[in-house]
Chains A and B, each alone.
Chain A
C-alpha cells in the first residue's frame, strides 16, 4: 500500500491540493499516475479562468486513455504549469513536485476543510 504526503489534502477523484496560505497548488496523486500509465498530454485552463469545486478544469491523456481533471475547490486560476505542455512526463516522474498542474486563488476557503486527509485518501486509493 502506498503512503501519501502528509502535508497535502486529497479528493475522491485522485487530485491533491497543497495549501500555501494564500493560493493552493493542485496535481494528481501517485495512485492516479499508476493507473494512467505514461502521460502524453495535459490540457489545462488559462490564468484568470474560473474553476468550480467538483467541476472539470482540464483533461489528461495517457497512451491508453483520456480522463477529466476535477477542481478540488472553487476559485480563480492564478498560475498554470507551462512545463507540462512540452514535458507531460513530469506528471509521471514527480507528481507532487514538477508535475503540479495549476495554482488556484480559492474563493471559498471553507471548501478546503471538506478535503480528505492522507489516511482517508489511502483508503479510497486501492
Chain B
C-alpha cells in the first residue's frame, strides 16, 4: 500500500458499520475484530443462493437446469449454463464437440470480456488510482473509462449473437443451441473484436503501470487445465501442488465444511485452503495462452506465475486479450455445423462438469433417472472455494496495518476482498464491513 500516515486509533471499543445497501441488502459482510494491537478475528460472511437452487433443481426435468441456474448470477449466466449443460450431457453420455463446442467457447469468451472489463475498470482500477469509485474515475478519465465500457459492450455483443440476449442467454440448450448464429452475424463481430483486442492490449499496459503492494502470499492454486487450449469449458482439475484429476474426482479432493459465520461452506483441496480465478488459471496454464497474450503478460512484467493478489487486475487484462484472440480464432475458422444441437436422450446416471467462470472454477454435478428427472444437484461456485484464502488475505492486510485509522483499514480490507472479484449473487453481494476494536 501507499503507506497511509499511521494514526493511533482511539482507545476502547470501536465498531463501525459500513452500510452498503444497494439493490439488495448486503448479504456479504466482513467482520474484523482487533484487540489492542492484536488481530483477533476475520470472518467473511457470504450468502450463497446456489444452495437454494440445488433444492429448486430436484424433481425438475433434465433440460431445465441450464436456464434455472443461469438465474443465479446476472454477471456470469454463461458459466452456470455451460457447467450445467456439460454435467447433464456427461450424465447422458453425450459429448458436444466440433463447431458446437467452438461456439460455446465463443459465447464464454464474450462473458469473460464483459465480466473482466467491468471488474478491471469500474471496480478494481479505482482502488489503485485513489478514487472511491469507477464513477469518480470516469469524471477525471473519461476516455479511459469509455474504453472499458466499449470492451464490456463488445463482450455483451458476442453474448447477444450466441446467446440471444446479453442477460440470461436464452439460446443455450443441452446438446448445443436452439438457433445457430448466421455467418454474417459472426463476421460482423470481427472488426469490433480486432478493435477490442487493441483496447485490451492498451488495458494491460495501463494497469501494469499501477503501484502494487509488495506481497506474495503462498496460496494453493486450483484451475482447470487442458493440454491444447487455455482451459475455459473443459479440462482436468489441477493444482499447483501436483493434483491433476478428472472432473469426476472433484469431490474426492475438494471438501466443503460449514463454518459458523457464513451460509457458505469453506472449501479445501486435499486438506488445504485454495483459491480459484485468474491468478490460478494463469499460473497453471500460461503455456496455453495465445502468443499475443503471453507477450502482453511479459511486457507487463508478469512472470509465468504471479502470486500477488493485487496483480490479478493485470492478469484479468491479459485474459481479456486472450478472450479477444480466441474469439477471433473461432470466428475465422467457423464453418456452420449441420445441426444447431445434438440429441441428448436421457439415461439414468450421474454427470460432473467444471468450467472456468470469470472468477474461477464452477463445479456442477447432477444425478438423473432414466426419465430425465433430476434426483440430485450439487453446485460449487468459485467464490465459496476461495473464501478461506480471501479471509487469509484480509488477515495479512490487517496484521500489516493494525495502527492505521479504521476508515483507511476498511478500505484496505475491501481492496483485499476485491482482488478476488467475488460474485455478486453467488456469494458476497455488497460488502458490509465491520471493524471492531477493543
Is the A/B pair a real complex? Answer: no
Chain B residues engaging chain A, CB cutoff 8 angstroms: none
